[in-house]
Amino acid sequence: MESQNSSRSCKNLFIAVVLMTLFSAIFYMYYEPSVNWLNCPAVPKHDVCGNICINALKTPNQIQIVNNTCMVNFTSLRHQLTQTEAASSQGGDLDTILLIWMWPFGHPFDLGLCSSMYNIHGCHLTVDKSQFNKAHGVLFHHRDIYGDLSNMPKLPRPPIQKWVWMNMESPSNSGQRSNLNNLFNLTTTYRHDSDIMVPYGRISENTGGKKHDEIPHKNKLVCWIVSNWNSDFKRSKYYEELKEHISIETYGNHFNRRISAKDYSDVVSSCKFYLSFENAIHQDYITEKLYNPLSLGTVPVVLGPPRKNYEEFIPGSAFIHVDDFNSPKELAEHLKLLDQNDDLYRQFFTWKEHFVARTSFFGPEQACHACDHIRRNKNYRVVNDLNSWYWG
């Protein structure tokens, strides 16, 4: 009797196990577990989590796939969800936001040039001051900051927001202010020791594969365009002596001979030599007065920081430095010699076999590079003594 009962119990247990197994098989065959049930964010069917992992859960003996593949992807998807939620709170994208607080010198520029002109991605430039609390950085142009700071932000600065001081003028042409210390986190200027260094121009590798153009036709020997005249400037004094020894074609407001922007290229390219004289002498202060003639096929004669400083930016054989001569008269004699020797003159253009010259776009280039710097660098930084650094 007990044997029969035991046999019947085992049989019932066996039937129950079989039924449970069949039920489980049918359940996993016809029930597709939702992504939420798996603690995975909603993803498209083609996603690894929504495809391989769910199929693995339907199939027996796939614990390895579940543990190795699915859980890894669940972690990755959770990270993506966190990023998406963070982006949503910043306006729906992951871009670094740079707020341009004032247009440099009041001149607007295209805010969408970062990716197309400088291959900088993930940056969003704006002038919408309502975005102040969302901005990762704010750009301020020195010459447009009021002396009493009354046109600076009134709201407290968010702790992780960077304030960027922008100045492309030399210390001699920039008003020093005592209230700028401890106010900014980053600097963008023409100087090598800036956080974001943006020169007035660049000599870069010629990657277009196009051979450099022939030297433009020349019908003038030496040219100079100047409007900002000051008799105390070194360049003014040098010019006054140089003109006694060589003919110089002069243009600009000071000489009552204005030229339009349209005519500028034609005039400069028609000159064998151009006086690229800076209005102030400071380290790294090398402006478009150098890069414009280079790009237009004219040899610049420079007056500015020492030759060694120029050669940090351009080939030494591409220009003539006034310091290489004992006097303006000696320089004039050298220029006349080059005018008579075409082979010697052409040597100043050998750099164009491999390089091209271009000037910077004032405003967008500083803004795009500042935004990119903020995007890449999250470290804390404060400019404690701006005045000593720039004007000291």
At residue 187, the pLDDT reads 98
Residues pairing with 184 in the sheet: none
Q: Is 169 an annotated catalytic residue?
A: yes
Q: What is the mean pLDDT of the chain?
A: 83
At residue 94, the pLDDT reads 76
* Residues with Cβ within 8 Å of residue 147, at least 6 apart in sequence: 175, 177
H or E element, residue 303:
strand 299-303
Among 353, 369, 360, residue whose Cα is nearest residue 208: 353
Q: CA-CA distances (angstroms) from residue 109 to 100, 165, 228?
A: 11, 18, 25
* Residues with Cβ within 8 Å of residue 157, at least 6 apart in sequence: 163
Both structure tokens of 222: 């030496």
Owner of token pair 């005519």: 263
> What digits encode the pLDDT tens for the residues 236-292?
999 999 999 999 999 999 999 999 989 999 999 999 999 999 999 999 999 999 999
> What digits encode the pLDDT tens for the residues 13-30?
555 555 555 555 444 444
At residue 178, the pLDDT reads 87
> What digits encode the pLDDT tens for the residues 116-127?
999 999 999 999
Chain Cα centroid distance, residue 51: 41
Both structure tokens of 283: 């380290």
Mean pLDDT of 35-59: 40
Mean pLDDT of 163-183: 95
At residue 46, the pLDDT reads 37
> What digits encode the pLDDT tens for the residues 292-310?
999 999 999 999 999 999 9
Whether the CB-CB separation of 142 and 174 falls below 8 Å is answered with yes
At residue 207, the pLDDT reads 83
Both structure tokens of 91: 């306006």
The CATH class, in words, for 213-359 is alpha beta
* Rg (the chain; Cα; Å): 34
Whether the CB-CB separation of 98 and 114 falls below 8 Å is answered with no
Confidence of residue 111 (pLDDT cuts 50, 70, 90): very high
Q: Is the pLDDT of residue 204 over 80?
A: yes
Domain ranges of the chain: 25-88, 96-198+363-391, 213-359
Amino acid at 47: D
Whether the CB-CB separation of 291 and 245 falls below 8 Å is answered with no
At residue 22, the pLDDT reads 54
At residue 45, the pLDDT reads 36
Which of the residues 2, 169, 214, 240 is marked catalytic? Answer: 169
